[in-house]
């Protein structure tokens, strides 16, 4: 994970950790964040996406720690519904032309302040929400436009462990990582 040194959003790692300490919800884009951005379609109209198991485990750790996880995506896919259900994500907004509408619903529903929300994106369509949240994150292979709005840029690419990287960062900043780690040795 690296700090974005763009002058407009530049902060020290300590300042970013302080922001992450207050995160109560993380919102994820799908294509290019939870997946590598590839979409496979077959002749029967079926859609296939590949998800990274460590990203999924990171999401489960966040939820287990009391941090809400939501998905906002511009496309609609049954595969996304299935994956969200497997991971325990109950807030899924698909086919969002203006992702800010879904974002505002979530913030209101959960009585959150913008500073208590993290968003992980990869493209220009994510920039409006990234400009609103307390912790905007871009994956390593995001567009330069998305990276320009991010406080953090992951080392890992979308669909290749980037979400896990963000989950670990937030859990560590909140002081929840060690307890989570220790729990694995109790069972």
Residue 166 has pLDDT above 70, yes or no: yes
Query: Which pLDDT does position 86 carry in this prediction?
Result: 97
Helix (H) or strand (E) holding 152, with range, is: strand 152-153
Q: Specify the pLDDT at position 64.
A: 95
Mean pLDDT of 9-23: 87
Domain with 148 in it: what CATH number? 3.40.50.1000
pTM tops 0.75: yes
Residues 6+ apart with CB under 8 A from 122: 29, 31, 32, 33, 37, 138, 139, 141, 142, 143, 146, 158
Instruction: Write out the residue range of the structural domain in which residue 77 sits.
Output: 2-186
pLDDT for 170 equals: 98
Token pair recorded at residue 97 = 């032309």
pLDDT reading at 37 higher than 50: yes
- Per-residue pLDDT tens over the stretch 77-136: 999 999 999 999 999 999 999 999 999 999 999 999 999 999 999 999 999 999 999 999
- Return phi, psi of residue 29, to 5°: -80, 170
Count: domains in the chain? 1
pLDDT given for residue 182 in this prediction: 85
Q: Among residues 59, 62, 72, which one has the least CA distance to residue 24?
A: 62
């Amino acid at each position: 994970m690296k700090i974005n040194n763009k002058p407009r959003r530049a902060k020290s790692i300590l300042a970013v950790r302080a922001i992450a300490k207050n995160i109560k919800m993380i919102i994820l884009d799908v294509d290019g964040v939870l997946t590598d951005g590839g979409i496979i379609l077959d002749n029967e109209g079926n859609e296939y996406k590949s998800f990274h198991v460590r990203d999924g485990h990171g999401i489960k750790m966040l939820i287990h720690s009391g941090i809400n996880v939501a998905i906002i995506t511009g496309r609609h896919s049954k595969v996304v519904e299935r994956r969200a259900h497997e991971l325990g994500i109950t807030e899924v907004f698909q086919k969002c032309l203006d992702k800010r509408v879904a974002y505002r619903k979530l913030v209101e529903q959960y009585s959150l302040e913008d500073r208590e929300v993290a968003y992980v994106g990869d493209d220009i369509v994510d920039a409006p929400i990234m400009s609103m949240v307390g912790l905007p994150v871009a994956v390593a292979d995001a567009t330069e436009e998305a990276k320009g709005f991010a406080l953090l840029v992951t080392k890992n690419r979308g669909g290749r462990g980037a979400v896990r990287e963000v989950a670990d960062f937030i859990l560590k900043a909140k002081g929840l990582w060690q307890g989570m780690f220790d729990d694995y040795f109790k069972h």
